[in-house]
């Protein structure tokens, strides 16, 4: 939520200074000057936290290759004596890929809606000098504090009234709406960094708002738009509450619901359940491998949701 305000500066700094890492490492934090002894305690603490993070993740991944009947006797940390891919086959059989497909559809819908609405809204907030846009911006700032959990009942009522209950659109609409405030804030930050001279040049060329938007604002806020896309995609991919309340049938099931459902069925088959979890995370993991930076920026926008 508010983190965005705070992180705007580093993000824009990165944008204006083309070589991304160097300025940070060269001029900024030098907790450790030349000849200073290394921070032994800090290193130890980091290693301790490494164990806290890695051990469960290792147990999670290794279990997916374990046969159900061997899981308890062999313990969670030993490599399986008789490794198998059977868990993955079972998870696919149970329709996990279908859930992933639904989630992908929801994610694409949310990202498209959020990027378009946040971009146009932010453009108006930054450039249009009217009372109305100020009010709209203030509404978004206030909206940062509205927790989705608290308004889920009316959202349910509205979705039922719109006759959208148990459709993928029922997940897309509120998810996008609740991602909007953070995204507007991110983009207002990016767009404020565009210099007045560039706007004036566009205006002198006789460009109207539409051309200014496409030719100047969109290209200049590309990194902000990227962050917004990643943030809203994460919200959509990992969303739980809206799908839980707003859908029910199995062919509308998104991945988080699928996992929740599996948990009931797989009570005795822990490796099977954990395999479903791992499979559900593979797409995000692939994104992480190629776009670590923007994923980190996107996450800084994530409230405790």
Residues numbered 191 to 250 that lie near another protein (CB under 8 A) are 196, 199-200, 202-204, 206-209, 212-213, 237-241, 244-245
Closest CB to another protein among residues 31, 290:
31
Per CB under 8 A, the list member of 18, 93, 149, 163 interacting with another protein is: 149
Contact call for residue 25 and another protein (CB under 8 A) = yes
In the region spanning residues 81 to 110, those forming contacts with another protein, defined by CB under 8 A, are: none
Contact call for residue 161 and another protein (CB under 8 A) = no
Contact call for residue 79 and another protein (CB under 8 A) = no
> Torsion-angle region of residue 167: left (phi > 0), alpha (psi -120 to 50) or beta?
beta
Contact call for residue 152 and another protein (CB under 8 A) = yes
Least CB distance to another protein at residue 251 (A): 19
Q: Which residues contact 24 (CB under 8 A, 6 or more apart)?
A: none
Per CB under 8 A, the list member of 60, 104, 112, 291 interacting with another protein is: 60
Distance CA 275, CA 89 (A): 10
CA neighbor of 10 nearest in space, from 219, 300, 235, 304: 300
Contact call for residue 7 and another protein (CB under 8 A) = yes
Distance CA 118, CA 289 (A): 27
CA neighbor of 305 nearest in space, from 6, 2, 1: 1
Contact (CB, 8 A) for 113 and 98 = no
Per CB under 8 A, the list member of 15, 67, 76, 98 interacting with another protein is: 76
């Amino acid at each position: 939520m508010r983190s965005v305000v705070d992180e705007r500066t580093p993000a824009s700094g990165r944008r204006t200074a083309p070589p991304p890492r160097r300025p940070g490492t060269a001029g900024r934090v030098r907790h450790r000057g030349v000849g200073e002894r290394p921070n032994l305690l800090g290193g130890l603490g980091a290693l301790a936290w490494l164990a806290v993070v890695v051990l469960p993740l290792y147990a999670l991944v290794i279990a997916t290759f374990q046969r159900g009947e061997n899981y308890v006797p062999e313990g969670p940390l030993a490599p399986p004596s008789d490794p198998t891919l059977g868990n993955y086959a079972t998870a696919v059989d149970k329709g996990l890929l279908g859930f992933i497909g639904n989630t992908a559809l929801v994610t694409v819908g949310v990202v498209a809606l959020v990027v378009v609405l946040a971009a146009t809204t932010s453009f108006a907030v930054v450039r249009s000098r009217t009372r109305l846009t100020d009010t709209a911006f203030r509404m978004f700032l206030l909206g940062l504090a509205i927790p989705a959990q608290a308004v889920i009942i009316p959202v349910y009522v509205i979705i039922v009234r719109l006759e959208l209950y148990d459709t993928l659109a029922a997940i897309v609409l509120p998810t996008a709406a609740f991602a909007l405030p953070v995204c507007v804030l991110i983009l207002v930050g990016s767009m404020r960094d565009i210099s007045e001279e560039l706007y004036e040049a566009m205006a002198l060329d006789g460009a109207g708002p539409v051309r200014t938007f496409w030719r100047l604002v969109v290209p200049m806020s590309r990194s902000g738009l990227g962050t917004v896309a990643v943030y809203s995609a994460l919200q959509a991919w990992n969303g739980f509450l809206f799908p839980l309340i707003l859908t029910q049938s199995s062919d509308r099931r998104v991945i988080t619901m699928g996992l929740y459902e599996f948990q009931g069925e797989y009570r005795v088959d822990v490796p099977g359940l954990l395999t479903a979890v791992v499979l559900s995370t593979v797409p995000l993991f692939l994104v992480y491998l190629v776009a670590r930076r923007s994923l980190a920026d996107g996450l800084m926008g994530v409230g405790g949701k």
